A and B are shown apart, each in its own frame.
Chain A
Amino acid sequence: MAERILSGSEVVLQALADQGVEVVFGYPGGAVLPLYDEIFKQNRIRHVLVRHEQAAVHAAEGYARSTGKVGVVLVTSGPGATNAVTGLTDALMDSIPVVCLTGQVPTHLIGNDAFQEADTTGITRPCTKHNYLVKNPDRLARTMHEAFHVASSGRPGPVVIDLPKDILVGKAPYMEPAQVQHRTYNPVVKGERSQIEEALEMLASAKKPILYCGGGVINSGTQACKLLTEFTRMTGAPITLTLMGLGAYPASDKQYLGMVGMHGTYESNMSMHDCDVMVAIGARFDDRVTGNLDFFAPNSQKIQIDIDQSSINKNVPVDIGIVGDVGHVLEDMIKIWKAKQYKIDATALDSWWDQIEGWRGKHCLSYKQPKDVIKPQHVIRRVHALTRDRKTYITTDVGQHQMWAAQHFGFEHPYEWMTSGGLGTMGYGMPAALGVQVAHPDATVVCFTGDASIMMNIQECATMTQYRLPIKTVILNNRYMGMVRQWQQLLHGSRYSESYSETLPDFVKLSEAFGFTGLTCNNPADLDDAIKKMLEIDGPVILDVAVDDKENCYPMIPSGKPHNEMLLGQETDGNEAIDSDEGMVLV
């Protein structure tokens, strides 16, 4: 087939179109002007102008996480690229497929400390799954297609393509995606059959099984989530989800124990601690999940299914490690489980469930809503209740509000929960919501945030206004960096060093200044009306809710403690100081 010779910018745009890209989140600048010129001349690909490059990446993450597609970012050289670094690291930690195009100074100036030059491939090497610097126009089209393949296959992640300006301006041949095949990068998707059989035998012989599932299930797709539900019901085993896994299994189901980990439910963590067979599916034994490794699920055999070989035996040694895509492996597991007519011993399983019901009886997430002050958990619960009849997507920032949202908003479906899990990036919520709303214009998108987090990417209010993105931002405003304050209270003798939000803007006036509605609420009796009003307004809204400023997020496994030593808020009245030097040095 004859090669088509185009300009470099045309090649980039053609490749994006052939990869099925509908929208690019970006910010222009000198080095990428040729690309922006090309964007101007076409209407296949929509460009959403953010107000900071970090937000462009988070928006692409929100887009990707809520659709299962690759999110695309376009930023300029130098500061454009360095501003994107936080977003890229976030996407790497949470395995979100993102392709980020960065401008670069012309090839002959690279290394000369030219204006707006940065060693982008050098800087982004440890915070991307892979990156490219295109120096040869013949490699441009191939690199574009390869980047999408690398970003979206295997364990997804961010990929940077650094594009020198002369490559964009000069001529380059175009080739179709089908003509590109990677020589070395071919992730394994099918799990080893003998290992799967061995794993099922182990599970079938369990007396206290638990399925511990994470973001990998969601990355594997909606079909994988369905298979997970089917498999869980077949086995009758209890299931817990990580922060990143919420929505992979319906929260309302009776086999679901709630979230696992530092702020997970009591029943979930106790079940993890006491189980005899643990099946980790698309979950990576993060320190926020395991607590103290020395006491993690001490009497259990462990099976781990992960597409990334390096996730297996990284933190916790497992008995059987199956490398493969969760969806494929679950499909095989279901087939074999049926064919071999496996069944977990009913008596054992019943008594395991009895034990779990005992833990459930603690009602670890309960709270009392007084008449005079709004409890933050209550806000989450009311938003959940009042959005049930709508298709709703939730994004969060990072901190207490994030954990309360994870605990109290019941997620029934995958792709509806966007949060910064691994990196814990304050400022993620609003830009991620932009990406979600762009992908789902008719859905309700709620961003739960805190008074501190929102300030980290507040400039994106302008983007919401410009594109009329009707995002509903709910601030759980306790005038503190709440999670910092909580740790200072529990671990640092209540010395609230720099965690008080001394000067917050008037969020109503701020919303109005950006051209949309701002609402406040500080009376529990008015909360429902405020939420309803927010949902009814056709446009962006910031709802600033004054919540109990001393509320702590419980239950909590303090750093350095095992799963069975949780702090339950109700018992301590939130006044328990943790006397542990060991905990103080841990994060």
Chain B
Amino acid sequence: MKETEISKHTISVLVDNESGVLARVIGLFSGRGYNIESLTVAEVDADAHQSRITVVTSGTPMVIEQIKAQLSRLVPVHKVSDLTLAGPSVERELALVKVIATGEQRVESLRIADIFKARAVDATNNSFVYEIIGSPEKIDAFIKLMAPLGLSEISRTGVAAISRGTLTM
């Protein structure tokens, strides 16, 4: 890979679930001028008070290496794993997509939702809220198709990711 080529990486960070830890991570990205394309965080081990942060970021190989080194040296960080380099991984995101439409548009949105295996989790006479789970690309595609069909609001969780196979963090 060329040194100047920018690539997208999904980085998982295991942290102590203490106050301010997310601010440290976000502050590091903004303070040093790194991109955050997506960020998710939730506790994954209540007993050990550990949370997992998944950051999707992009940069040159040198920048990506810096991001990982900078994350690793934060005191509450247990482990940093670059899922993009570690091997194949599964990435999933959930989105809630509100479509306000009537007549043929409304029916068409249902048909597309069916193709994408999106569920309607709320319905009124002139609206649906679809729940869709998938890769960010799949969700992008779904949203694109909904755009002319009365798409009015989107809420996305950001990416949660994990390595395939027996590999763990």
Interface positions of A (Cβ within 8 A of B): 121-122, 125-126, 129-131, 133, 150, 154-155, 182-185, 308-310, 312-314, 317
Known: A121-B20, A309-B69, A309-B73. Contact between A184 and B78, CB under 8 A? Answer: yes
Return chain B residues, CB-CB under 8 Å to A133.
19-20
- A121 to chain B: which residues have CB within 8 Å? 20
A59 to chain B, nearest CB (A): 25
Closest to A312 in B: B69
Partner of B75, one of A130, A310, A312, A317: A130
Which residues of chain B come closer than 8 Å to A310, judged between CB atoms? Answer: 66, 69-70, 72-73
Q: Are B16 and A183 in contact (CB under 8 A)?
A: yes
Say yes or no: A314-B66 contact (C-beta < 8 A), given A125-B24, A184-B78.
Answer: yes
Taking the closest CB of chain B, its distance from the CB of A150, in whole angstroms, is: 6
Distance, CA A36 to CA B66, complexed state (A): 42
A184: contacting residue among B3, B31, B66, B76, CB under 8 A: B76
A184 x B16 contact (CB < 8 A): yes
User: B75 near A129 (CB under 8 angstroms)?
Assistant: yes
CB proximity of B169 to chain A, nearest CB, Å:
13
Which residues from B are CB-within-8-Å of A126?
Answer: 27, 31
* B76 and A313 contact, CB distance less than 8 A: no
Q: Which residue on A lies nearest to B70, using beta carbons?
A: A310
Chain B residues within an 8 Å CB radius of A125 = 20, 23-24, 27
Task: Point out the residue from A122, A154, A317 that lies within 8 Å of B23, measured CB to CB.
Answer: A122
Bound complex: CA A526 to CA B163 (Å): 75
Could you tell me if A308 and B73 are in contact, using CB atoms closer than 8 angstroms? yes
Nearest B-chain residue to A314, judged by Cβ:
B66
- List 28 interface pairs A-B (beta carbons < 8 Å), by A numbering: A121-B20, A122-B20, A122-B23, A125-B20, A125-B23, A125-B27, A126-B27, A129-B75, A133-B19, A150-B75, A154-B73, A155-B73, A183-B16, A184-B16, A184-B75, A184-B76, A184-B77, A308-B69, A308-B73, A309-B69, A309-B72, A309-B73, A310-B66, A310-B70, A312-B69, A313-B62, A313-B66, A314-B66
Q: Does B65 contact A (CB under 8 A)?
A: yes
Closest to B69 in A: A310
A125-B23, A183-B78 given; name 15 further pairs at CB < 8 Å: A121-B20, A122-B20, A125-B27, A131-B20, A133-B19, A182-B75, A184-B77, A184-B78, A308-B69, A308-B73, A309-B69, A309-B73, A313-B65, A317-B3, A317-B62
Task: Give, as a whole number of angstroms, the nearest-CB distance from A472 to chain B.
Answer: 39
**Cβ contacts under 8 Å, A155 to chain B:** 73
Chain B residue numbers with a CB within 8 Å of A122 are 20, 23
Q: Contact size class for B?
A: 20 to 34
CA distance A126 to B74 in the complex (A): 11
Taking CB atoms, residues of chain A closer than 8 Å to B27 are 125-126
Set of chain A residues within 8 Å of B78, measured between Cβ atoms = 183-184
Q: Mark B73-86, 1 if CB is under 8 A from A, else 0.
A: 11111100000000
The 7 closest A-B CB pairs, nearest first, are A310-B69, A130-B75, A309-B69, A184-B78, A185-B75, A310-B70, A126-B31
> Distance (Å) between the CB of B77 and the closest chain A CB?
6
Name the distance in Å between A183's Cβ and chain B's nearest Cβ: 7
Residues of A close to B19: CB separation below 8 A: 133
Nearest CB in chain A to that of B28: its residue: A126
Q: Report the separation of the CA atoms of residues A130 and B23 in the bound assembly, to the nearest whole angstrom.
A: 12
| B74, B75, B77, B78 pick with most chain A CB within 10 angstroms | B75
Contacts of B65 in A (CB 8 A): 313
Chain A residues with Cβ under 8 A from B70's Cβ? 310
Least CB distance from A119 to B in Å reads 10
CB distance from A357 to the nearest CB of B (A): 37
Q: Which residue of A lies closest to B48 (CB)?
A: A183
Residues of A near B74 (CB, < 8 A) are 130
**Which A residues lie within 8 Å of B69 (CB)?**
308-310, 312
Task: Name the CB-closest residue of A to B75.
Answer: A130
Of residues 25 through 58 on chain B, the ones whose CB sits less than 8 Å from some CB of chain A are 27, 31
Residues of A within 8 A of B23 (CB): 122, 125
Q: Which B residues touch A154, using CB under 8 A?
A: 73
